[in-house]
């Protein structure tokens, strides 16, 4: 009897030991399907799970002892185990892997293999952070990887959503595909450095914008949140309050906040959701419009503005937005402001340190491009908005926020004294007659003497067309609305195009630095008589870039046409010149640390995403390269030189041309060899630029290392042999994230794959830049990696780019 009882006791003890909870896995204690890790305080659990109506198995995390089991994190979201033989384990060299033991297949892995580790382990912390440790000594504990850096669709208390400017690491929330598929879905939430949080579609289209995260603009719904916007980070996070809460990106395209109820067992209750009304969908009323969900119709124009297209507006098509009723008069300082009460702030606020709202008003009036200002909630004093396009203004009941919109003094006069014209009708008629006489005389004088001062007006693009064709070409004319500059004004601004003001030379001609009479610094691109790029490219750039407004595209301020020879483009001045001047210079390259380079990569990607998907037109740049990426005073990248760009119709997938233009080394194989170009051609060029940014080397140069034919070939060879980190520019600090660099190399190689159908769209690239390296697909053989002599360069018309002496800008006629 005693023996029998002893056996029963031992069996019970054995099964009890198996069921006893633990929070850690080690090389000798993996986690099998059916077992569960539980954090030390019992708050979180982690193990294998199966979504409803499927047989797929995933490793996920949920709140322990909560009846409403909501999965808050998934490890292998893109690679399920198809049976119950999955195993989560730690290798002795510090890698964490999920293995399908039946198929002998690795479904997921994280961490970097290392040697000499004392006690690698993975632990589920009480915060819900699942961490991979490379040693077990608490005094020197370090995390090789943590789940808080790789959220899926849910933000937990203590997690940070946003950008780490030091490491260049970004954290987004990507929705599930649907209720039964946790793989990356159609929506993601990301933090913009301008203090807004956005909900995007997977193609990068904005669905919803939070408005600035401050004490005035964001209704926290009881959420103890924190927004940090500094030189180190731009992040949103929250801490636990009276109850656990979850910030979620749903598969249906909503940003949601859930709170745990106090019921027995607990249920997740929806506390907040956006977009909650039609007005809260991004940009419903177009530029300079304001949306009010309680009004009918819901869209109106800001004060001082009128519908751009009255007929469309009347039919409730508000996409064109509104335009100014009366132009501003910055030079004479007569502009004023009207107040919009209870307003959600427009997009792209610029923080402006000022001691008071009155000082903020003066700061706006001093800047001719400022169109509005507001209190920013006490972080800097105020925020201002530049350029005449205020997006996503919404009137919200209960908001104690005022937006001050800049308007012309004549508009203010019409508000205050609406009957002035009736009282002085005769005087006005006389004044009009006298004014007409004076204007006629002035016009004759201008024709005889030529204009000697700067003139702002609307460019006649038919005139530009005639310069290149000798006749009007209605089909190729696009209406633009950019200023025209008098030749004498540009001569004076550039000190008569002095050599001291030369910034550089390119295929178009010479670029000069200039300063206008109002002290605005400009860059002037002057078409050379011997330029291989002619009036067609000039017209193309004017027509295209005038329609584009994005922080990562260079801004065209105007143009100048004098007679039949002089044609100039006037841009905003970029004090740090072009990216190639830094990358390919050893001394200047040392000024670009990894964080800066990573932000340049992100900025270029956003600029291309705008061109390909988010602008009024789909545009292919066709000449993206390091010398066409300009850097402002904060090292923010701006894509320039749209002379080669082409519009792309909504139903078109690619173009075929007999004239191939661009720069050898950046052109995709199908374009260089067959004249076929598409959005994927720009993606190929972007991939080359990524590899150049990482390595500090040109794709094709005099000192290309043997035996590699070019940088793409070198990167591919190093990738396939597991030596890709040797590609990194030696001038960069060694304190950089290997995972971050690995991700960018992988994306770069993914973009330069030989076949265009294998390359991602820019919308996917944006998502990849914030994704886990392990979740990215493996790249295939890149184009031109092992293709010497396939381009017959004897048939190529070559022109050296003076700013990047090893580049060949080519034009091919025929195929």
- Output the average pLDDT for the chain: 80
Confidence band for 805, pLDDT divided at 50, 70 and 90: very low
The span from the CA of 517 to the CA of 486, in Å, is 13
Asked whether residue 496 falls in the same domain as residue 562, the answer is yes
What pLDDT is attached to residue 455? 39
Residue 334 three-state SS = coil
- pLDDT of 294 strictly over 80: yes
The span from the CA of 249 to the CA of 532, in Å, is 51
Among the residue ranges 33-37, 345-349, 408-412, 562-566, the one predicted with the least confidence is 562-566
The span from the CA of 375 to the CA of 387, in Å, is 19
What pLDDT is attached to residue 764? 85
What pLDDT is attached to residue 676? 86
Asked whether residue 308 falls in the same domain as residue 178, the answer is no
Percentage above 70 pLDDT, the chain: 76
Catalytic residue among 623, 682, 729, 801: 623
Percentage above 90 pLDDT, the chain: 40
Confidence band for 464, pLDDT divided at 50, 70 and 90: very low
- pLDDT of 250 strictly over 50: yes
Phi, psi of 673 (to 5 degrees): -95, -35
DSSP 103-158: TTEEEEEES---SS-S--EEEE-TTS-EEEES---GGG--EEEEGGGS--SEEPTT
Range list of H helices, 391-507: 409-416, 420-423, 425-449, 461-469, 487-493
Residue 515 three-state SS = strand
Q: Which residues contact 442 (CB under 8 A, 6 or more apart)?
A: none
Burial of 210 by CB count in 10 Å (0-12 exposed, 13-18 middle, 19+ buried)?
buried
What pLDDT is attached to residue 684? 95
Q: What is the mean pLDDT of residues 521-544?
A: 73
Asked whether residue 546 falls in the same domain as residue 617, the answer is no
> Is cis: bond before 275, omega within 30 of 0?
yes
Confidence band for 779, pLDDT divided at 50, 70 and 90: very high
Q: What is the mean pLDDT of residues 803-809?
A: 37
- 695 against 617, higher pLDDT: 695
Among the residue ranges 8-17, 461-470, 474-483, 497-506, the one predicted with the least confidence is 461-470
- pLDDT of 528 strictly over 90: no
Number of structural domains, the chain?
5
Burial of 418 by CB count in 10 Å (0-12 exposed, 13-18 middle, 19+ buried)?
exposed
284 inside domain = no
The single residue listed with the structure tokens 């894509």 is 639
Confidence band for 800, pLDDT divided at 50, 70 and 90: very low
Among candidate residues 276, 311, 339, the one where a domain is terminated: 276
Confidence band for 563, pLDDT divided at 50, 70 and 90: confident
DSSP 526-584: EE-TT-SS-HHHHHHHHHHHTT---TTBPPEEEEEEETTTEEEEEEE--TT-BTHHHHT
Asked whether residue 714 falls in the same domain as residue 636, the answer is yes
402 is catalytic: no
509 inside domain = yes
Sort residue 172 into left (φ over 0), alpha (ψ -120 to 50) or beta.
Answer: beta
Task: Identify the sign of the CA torsion 506, 507, 510, 513.
Answer: negative
Q: Which token pair is 457?
A: 């007006």
Among candidate residues 276, 308, 327, the one where a domain is terminated: 276
> Is cis: bond before 707, omega within 30 of 0?
yes
The span from the CA of 124 to the CA of 498, in Å, is 67
> Is cis: bond before 375, omega within 30 of 0?
no
- pLDDT of 309 strictly over 50: yes
What pLDDT is attached to residue 7? 43
Asked whether residue 176 falls in the same domain as residue 248, the answer is yes
Q: What is the mean pLDDT of residues 101-117?
A: 83
Do the Cβ atoms of 185 and 262 come closer than 8 Å?
A: no
Do the Cβ atoms of 695 and 746 come closer than 8 Å?
A: no
512 inside domain = yes
The span from the CA of 139 to the CA of 574, in Å, is 48
The single residue listed with the structure tokens 């064109």 is 320
Residue 522 three-state SS = strand
The span from the CA of 186 to the CA of 606, in Å, is 18
Instruction: Name the DSSP letter for residue 35.
Output: B
- Domain with 80 in it: what CATH number? 2.90.10.10
Asked whether residue 729 falls in the same domain as residue 678, the answer is yes
Instruction: Name the DSSP letter for residue 25.
Output: E
- The partner residues of 664 in beta bridges, in order of sequence, read 808
The span from the CA of 310 to the CA of 320, in Å, is 10
467 inside domain = yes
Do the Cβ atoms of 751 and 687 come closer than 8 Å?
A: yes
- pLDDT of 650 strictly over 50: no
Phi, psi of 107 (to 5 degrees): -95, -25
Q: Which token pair is 465?
A: 């067309």
Instruction: Kindly report the number of other CB atoms within 10 A of residue 476's CB atom.
Output: 16
Confidence band for 79, pLDDT divided at 50, 70 and 90: very high
Instruction: Kindly report the number of other CB atoms within 10 A of residue 777's CB atom.
Output: 12
Confidence band for 13, pLDDT divided at 50, 70 and 90: very low
431 inside domain = no
- 547 against 163, higher pLDDT: 163
Among candidate residues 148, 174, 191, the one where a domain is terminated: 148
- pLDDT of 394 strictly over 90: yes
Instruction: Name the DSSP letter for residue 345.
Output: P
Asked whether residue 614 falls in the same domain as residue 749, the answer is yes
Q: Which token pair is 579?
A: 């990216």
- pLDDT of 811 strictly over 50: no
Confidence band for 429, pLDDT divided at 50, 70 and 90: low
- pLDDT of 82 strictly over 50: yes
Asked whether residue 185 falls in the same domain as residue 263, the answer is yes
The span from the CA of 167 to the CA of 64, in Å, is 33
The span from the CA of 508 to the CA of 526, in Å, is 7
User: Of the candidates 738, 737, 698, which has an alpha carbon nearest to the alpha carbon of residue 722?
Assistant: 738
Binding residue per annotation — 422?
no
Q: What is the mean pLDDT of residues 405-419?
A: 75
User: Of the candidates 418, 586, 585, 570, which has an alpha carbon nearest to the alpha carbon of residue 503?
Assistant: 570
- pLDDT of 774 strictly over 70: yes
Q: How many residues does the chain have?
A: 815
14 inside domain = no
User: If you compute the radius of gyration of the chain from its CA atoms, what whole number of angstroms results?
Assistant: 30
Asked whether residue 651 falls in the same domain as residue 748, the answer is yes
Q: Which token pair is 181?
A: 């598929």
What pLDDT is attached to residue 428? 56
Residue 414 three-state SS = helix
The single residue listed with the structure tokens 């009736």 is 422
262 inside domain = yes
Q: What is the mean pLDDT of residues 367-375?
A: 91
The single residue listed with the structure tokens 């041309």 is 657
Indicate the pTM of the whole model: 0.53
Q: What is the mean pLDDT of residues 62-91?
A: 94
What would the pLDDT profile of 500-519 be if each residue is shown by its tens digit?
A: 999 887 667 789 999 998 88
Residue 26 three-state SS = strand
Asked whether residue 612 falls in the same domain as residue 518, the answer is no
Q: Which token pair is 123?
A: 């632990």
- 412 against 572, higher pLDDT: 572
What pLDDT is attached to residue 217? 44
User: Of the candidates 766, 782, 547, 532, which has an alpha carbon nearest to the alpha carbon of residue 669?
Assistant: 782
Angle at which helices 679-695 and 738-751 pack, to 10 degrees?
Answer: 150
The span from the CA of 162 to the CA of 775, in Å, is 19
Buried b (16+ CB within 10 A) or exposed e, 674-704: ebbbbbbbbbbbbbbbbbbbbbbbbbbbeeb
Asked whether residue 300 falls in the same domain as residue 156, the answer is no
- Domain with 340 in it: what CATH number? 3.50.4.10
Instruction: Name the DSSP letter for residue 302.
Output: P
Instruction: Name the DSSP letter for residue 668.
Output: -
Q: Which token pair is 175?
A: 């929705």
- 506 against 95, higher pLDDT: 95
The span from the CA of 117 to the CA of 114, in Å, is 7
Among the residue ranges 529-538, 576-585, 725-734, the one predicted with the least confidence is 529-538
What pLDDT is attached to residue 807? 42
Phi, psi of 282 (to 5 degrees): -60, 130
Among the residue ranges 278-282, 516-520, 768-772, the one predicted with the least confidence is 768-772
1 inside domain = no
The span from the CA of 697 to the CA of 714, in Å, is 11
Confidence band for 338, pLDDT divided at 50, 70 and 90: very high
What pLDDT is attached to residue 467? 38
- pLDDT of 138 strictly over 70: no
Residue 605 three-state SS = helix
Structural domain that includes position 108: 21-148
The span from the CA of 628 to the CA of 644, in Å, is 12
Confidence band for 100, pLDDT divided at 50, 70 and 90: very high
What would the pLDDT profile of 220-247 be if each residue is shown by its tens digit?
A: 455 677 888 777 888 888 887 778 999 9
Asked whether residue 372 falls in the same domain as residue 505, the answer is no
The span from the CA of 66 to the CA of 259, in Å, is 12
The span from the CA of 728 to the CA of 341, in Å, is 52
CA distances to 192, 277, 298 from 254, rounded to whole Å, are: 18, 11, 21
Confidence band for 460, pLDDT divided at 50, 70 and 90: very low
- pLDDT of 815 strictly over 70: no
Phi, psi of 212 (to 5 degrees): -55, 140
The span from the CA of 360 to the CA of 812, in Å, is 54
What would the pLDDT profile of 480-505 be if each residue is shown by its tens digit?
A: 457 788 899 999 999 999 999 998 87
DSSP 743-796: HHHHHHHHHTBSSGGGSPPHHHHHHHTTS-GGGSPPP-PBTTTT--S-S-GGGS
Q: Which residues contact 411 (CB under 8 A, 6 or more apart)?
A: 303, 304, 325, 326
Q: Which helix (H) or strand (E) holds 227?
A: strand 224-229
- Domain with 597 in it: what CATH number? 1.10.510.10
């Amino acid at each position: 009897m005693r023996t029998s009882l002893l056996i029963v006791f031992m069996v019970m003890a054995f099964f009890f030991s198996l069921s006893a909870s633990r929070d850690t896995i080690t090389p000798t204690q993996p986690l099998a399907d059916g077992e569960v890790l539980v954090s030390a305080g019992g708050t979180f659990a982690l193990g294998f799970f199966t979504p409803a109506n499927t047989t797929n198995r995933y490793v996920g995390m949920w709140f322990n002892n909560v009846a409403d089991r909501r999965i808050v994190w998934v490890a292998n979201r893109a690679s399920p185990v198809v049976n119950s033989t999955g195993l989560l384990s730690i290798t002795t060299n510090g890698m964490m892997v999920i293995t399908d033991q039946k198929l002998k297949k690795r479904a997921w892995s994280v961490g970097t293999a290392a040697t000499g580790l004392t006690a690698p382990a993975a632990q589920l912390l009480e915060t819900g952070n699942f961490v991979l440790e490379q040693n077990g000594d608490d005094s020197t504990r370090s995390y090789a990887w943590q789940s808080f850096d790789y959220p899926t669709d849910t933000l937990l208390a203590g997690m940070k959503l946003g950008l780490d400017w030091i490491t260049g690491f970004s954290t987004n929330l990507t929705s599930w595909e649907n209720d039964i598929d946790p793989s990356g879905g159609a929506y993601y939430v990301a933090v913009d450095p301008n203090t807004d949080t956005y909900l995007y579609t997977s193609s990068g289209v904005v669905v919803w914008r939070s408005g600035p995260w401050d004490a005035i603009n964001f209704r926290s719904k009881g959420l103890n949140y924190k927004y940090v916007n500094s030189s180190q980070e731009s992040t949103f996070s929250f801490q636990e309050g009276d109850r656990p809460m979850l910030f979620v990106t749903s598969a249906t395209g909503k940003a949601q906040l859930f709170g745990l109820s106090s019921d027995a067992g607990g249920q997740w209750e929806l506390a907040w959701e956006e977009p909650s009304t039609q007005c809260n969908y991004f940009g419903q009323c177009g530029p300079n419009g304001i949306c009010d969900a309680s009004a009918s119709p819901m869209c109106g124009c800001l004060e001082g503005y009128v519908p751009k297209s009255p007929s469309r507006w009347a039919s409730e098509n508000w996409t064109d937005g509104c335009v100014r009723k009366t132009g501003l008069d910055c030079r004479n300082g007569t502009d004023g402001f009207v107040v919009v009460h209870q307003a959600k702030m427009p997009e792209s606020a610029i923080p402006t340190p000022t001691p008071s709202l009155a000082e903020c008003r003066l700061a706006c009036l001093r800047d001719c491009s400022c169109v509005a200002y507001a209190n920013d909630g006490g972080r800097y004093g105020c925020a201002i908005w530049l350029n005449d396009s205020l997006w996503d203004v919404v009137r919200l009941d209960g908001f104690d926020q005022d937006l001050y919109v800049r308007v012309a003094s004549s508009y203010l006069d019409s508000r205050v004294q609406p009957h002035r014209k009736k009282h002085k009708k005769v005087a006005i008629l006389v004044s009009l007659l006298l004014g007409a006489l004076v204007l006629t005389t002035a016009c004759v004088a201008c024709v005889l003497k030529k204009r000697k001062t700067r003139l702002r007006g609307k460019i006649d693009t038919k005139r530009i067309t005639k310069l290149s064709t000798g006749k009007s070409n209605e089909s190729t004319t696009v209406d633009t609305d950019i200023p025209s500059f008098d030749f004498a004004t540009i001569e004076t601004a550039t000190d008569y195009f002095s050599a001291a003001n030369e910034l550089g030379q390119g295929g178009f001609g010479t670029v000069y630095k200039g300063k206008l009479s109002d002290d605005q610094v400009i860059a002037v691109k002057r078409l050379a008589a011997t330029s291989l790029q002619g009036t067609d490219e000039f017209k193309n750039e004017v027509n295209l870039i005038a329609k584009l407004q994005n922080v990562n595209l260079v801004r065209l301020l105007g143009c100048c046409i004098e007679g039949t020879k002089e044609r100039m483009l006037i841009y905003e001045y970029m004090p740090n010149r072009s990216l190639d001047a830094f990358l390919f210079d050893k001394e200047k390259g040392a000024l670009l640390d990894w964080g800066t380079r990573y932000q340049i990569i992100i900025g270029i990607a956003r600029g291309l995403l705008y061109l390909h998907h988010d602008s009024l037109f789909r545009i292919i740049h066709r000449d993206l390269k390091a010398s066409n990426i300009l850097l402002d005073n904060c090292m923010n990248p701006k894509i320039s030189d749209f002379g080669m760009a082409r519009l792309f119709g909504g139903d078109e997938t690619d173009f075929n041309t007999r004239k191939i233009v661009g720069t050898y080394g950046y052109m995709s194989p199908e374009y260089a060899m067959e004249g076929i170009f598409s959005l994927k051609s720009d993606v190929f060029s972007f991939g080359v630029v990524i590899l150049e940014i990482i390595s500090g080397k040109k794709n094709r140069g005099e000192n290309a290392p043997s035996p590699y034919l070019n940088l793409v070939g070198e990167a591919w060879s190093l990738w396939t042999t597991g030596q890709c980190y040797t590609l990194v520019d030696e001038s960069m600090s060694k304190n950089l994230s290997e995972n971050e660099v690995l991700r960018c190399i992988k994306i770069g190689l993914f973009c330069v794959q030989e076949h265009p159908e294998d390359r991602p769209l820019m919308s996917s690239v944006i998502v990849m830049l914030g994704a886990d390296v392990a979740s990215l697909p493996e790249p295939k053989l890149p184009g031109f990696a092992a293709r010497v002599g396939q381009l017959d360069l004897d048939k190529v018309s070559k022109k050296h780019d003076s700013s990047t002496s090893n580049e060949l800008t080519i034009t091919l006629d025929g195929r």
